[in-house]
Amino acid sequence: MASLVETSLRVAATAGRRDKVALLAEFLSRVPPAEIQTATAYLCGIIPQRRLGVGFATLRNAAGEVAAEEPTVELSQIDSVFQQVAAVGGKGSAAEKRRLLAGLLARLTRDEQRYLFGLVSGEVRHGALEGVVTEAVALAAGLSPKRIRRAVMMAGDLTEVARAALQEGETGLSRYSVQLFRPVQPMLAGSADDETEALDELGEAALEWKVDGARVQIHKAGDEVRVYSRALNDVTAAVPEVVDMARSLPARELIVEGEVIALRADGTPLPFQTTMTRFGRRLDVDQARQTLPVTPLLFDLLYLDGTALLDEPYRRRFVQLGALAPEPLVVPRLVTGSRSDAAAFLATALERGHEGIMAKALDAAYESGRRGRHWLKIKPVKSLDLVVLAAEWGHGRRQGWLSNLHLGARNPVDGGFVMLGKTFKGMTDEMLAWQTTRLLELEAGRDAWTVYVRPELVVEVAFNDVQTSTQYPGGVALRFARIKRYRTDKNATDADTIDQVRKLLPQ
Ligand code: AMP
């Protein structure tokens, strides 16, 4: 653990990205194989157990004034204590967790303790986030960063890929090519203000309706079909009509992607929340299928009968998709470079009750897991996905609930968050109850009015305008912000950035 902490401190004190990568690579090549996964996770500021069920304050208290003089503890020992802490449940679990952590912390030096506090509070700040660590893994393994990134997209986990790459090199990575029933991280979209900006950037592009449902990735081999959510969970049981649709497609093996949505009889979409009830637990699926049928609207084809299509240009993927799936199952699409045609297409999408449109580069590969500029979403309503940084206790009717949320945009430079404002508007009682429980789980500290949390929860926030501000640290604030919904399908790293917010300032 000591050499990880030392490396982290040196990385933090180094300005250049290349030097950071070199320091990390040098460290990674020295880590024993059994500890590579833990080391990679800690360097990215992540605890593999994700939730220990203890807050930062508990950890601080458990540390007390005690610290070791000399470093002796190995990473694997920390990992095994964290595993025990995460596994403790039931009555008296809080005390048991504290006891385990106190035992561990007493054996750590002050610097090591500080690193663990950072990990648990989600605030490791040495400027070595996943991108830099990925490059370091590549350098240490003697492989290209692109190769590592592709494997991470397939594996969905950098730590696993780091272990395979460092231990087995290229041979180890061959496991992570696209495979049926191993869902790939979805390609993500950037944003454009309007269709003109999108076409200026992409040239002639594929425009598609942006449908506000649930994203699914459907894998099929013969009669076997699995449907995965955006977070790559298996949701097959919830959507039998999607399974039937996939079975009916004339291909033996395929991976297709699309949006599943509940439509009204006239074809207009029901609200997002309504579609999502189909994915709720304890639902009578057969009955739900009758009362609230969902329709898949496909937009991409990633794999067909033994051939991976991820590196094919988009124009070929959608032509092949069109040859496979009947028109009503494919999202409406227009390939154009004309602004007026694009404007008309957007107007129709909005008229039909959809969110907006997507503009996609015709020559782009499927960039699994990446939010690039090859897909651009165009949504006229102003909304941002922000991260909850803290919440204040409510008054009056909201007494006892965590209500007023402090909202932050992502700072891509240091991986931190910049506060943009607060709001308690737009929340239903259900949301208040849910967020109170969830935010207390994420607690990192508190004062009389406010509970500070680890920056992990993403909310979609609607607002009227962005204005300059002397009060908030980013120099910008939201006007009339209201919560639209929690985006539990997104991580804080998917949240919108402070730069995107600044672009919304009136010119
Ligand atoms: P957002 O979640 O706001 O970042 O927007 C991106 C999401 O829009 C994707 O993850 C899909 O779930 C959804 N979406 C709706 N229609 C499309 C489409 N035609 N192509 C790609 N994604 C779409």
Tens-digit pLDDT profile for residues 115-158:
888 888 777 666 558 889 999 999 999 999 988 988 888 787 89
* Cβ neighbours of residue 244 closer than 8 Å, sequence gap 6 or more: none
* Contact in structure between 414 and 407 (CB atoms under 8 Å): no
pLDDT band at 180 (very low <50, low <70, confident <90, very high): very high
What's the pLDDT at 381?
Answer: 60
Cα 283 to Cα 238: distance, rounded to the nearest angstrom: 8
Write the single-letter amino acid at 305: D
* Span of 16-20, 234-238, 369-373 with lowest mean pLDDT: 369-373
3-state secondary structure 383-401: EEEEEEEEEEEECHHHECC
- Judge whether residue 110 has pLDDT over 60: yes
220 φ, ψ (degrees, to nearest 5): -140, 135
| Ligand 1 atom index nearest CA of 331 | 19
Q: Which of 188, 216, 230, 259 to mutate to test the pocket of ligand 1 (most atoms within 8 A of CB)?
A: 259
**Centroid of ligand 1 to alpha carbon of 418 (angstroms):** 26
Cα 488 to Cα 485: distance, rounded to the nearest angstrom: 9
* Contact in structure between 43 and 8 (CB atoms under 8 Å): yes
Q: Hunting for tokens 């898949």 — which residue is that?
A: 296
Catalytic residue status for 210: yes
What's the pLDDT at 155?
Answer: 81
Residue 394: burial class (beta carbons within 10 Å; 0-12, 13-18, 19+): middle
- HSE at residue 367, side-chain half, CA atoms within 13 A, is 15
Considering 20, 97, 210, 422, which one is annotated as catalytic?
210
Strand-pair partners of 333 = 208
310 or 206, which is more confident: 206
- Judge whether residue 507 has pLDDT over 60: no
pLDDT band at 408 (very low <50, low <70, confident <90, very high): very high
62 or 149, which is more confident: 149
What's the pLDDT at 247?
Answer: 98
**Centroid of ligand 1 to alpha carbon of 171 (angstroms):** 34
Using CA positions, which residue lies closest to atom 18 of ligand 1?
Answer: 210
Cα 319 to Cα 324: distance, rounded to the nearest angstrom: 9
What's the pLDDT at 125?
Answer: 67
- Judge whether residue 342 has pLDDT over 90: yes
- Rounded average pLDDT over 36-49: 92
Q: Which of 211, 330, 360, 367 to mutate to test the pocket of ligand 1 (most atoms within 8 A of CB)?
A: 211
- HSE at residue 22, side-chain half, CA atoms within 13 A, is 6
- Judge whether residue 213 has pLDDT over 60: yes
| Ligand 1 atom index nearest CA of 490 | 2
pLDDT band at 496 (very low <50, low <70, confident <90, very high): very high
| Ligand 1 atom index nearest CA of 375 | 21
**Centroid of ligand 1 to alpha carbon of 367 (angstroms):** 14
Return the C-alpha torsion angle 440, 442, 444, 446, nearest 10: -20
Ligand 1 proximal residues by C-beta, below 6 Å: 186, 189, 208, 210-211, 215, 230, 259, 299, 331, 358, 377
* Span of 33-42, 277-286, 434-443, 467-476 with lowest mean pLDDT: 277-286
Helix (H, G, I), strand (E, B) or coil at 182: strand
**Centroid of ligand 1 to alpha carbon of 283 (angstroms):** 26
* Cβ neighbours of residue 114 closer than 8 Å, sequence gap 6 or more: none
pLDDT band at 256 (very low <50, low <70, confident <90, very high): very high
Cα 360 to Cα 28: distance, rounded to the nearest angstrom: 38
Residue 146: burial class (beta carbons within 10 Å; 0-12, 13-18, 19+): exposed
59 φ, ψ (degrees, to nearest 5): -65, -45
Using CA positions, which residue lies closest to atom 8 of ligand 1?
Answer: 210
- Widest CA span in the chain: 72
**Centroid of ligand 1 to alpha carbon of 130 (angstroms):** 24
**Centroid of ligand 1 to alpha carbon of 449 (angstroms):** 38
Sign of CA dihedral 209, 213, 214, 218: negative
Residues in the chain: 507
* Cβ neighbours of residue 370 closer than 8 Å, sequence gap 6 or more: 153, 187, 188
Give me the chain's average pLDDT, please. 91
What's the pLDDT at 127?
Answer: 56
pLDDT 10s digits, 442-477: 999 999 999 999 999 999 998 867 888 889 999 999
What's the pLDDT at 207?
Answer: 98
- Rounded average pLDDT over 314-321: 98
Helix (H, G, I), strand (E, B) or coil at 81: helix
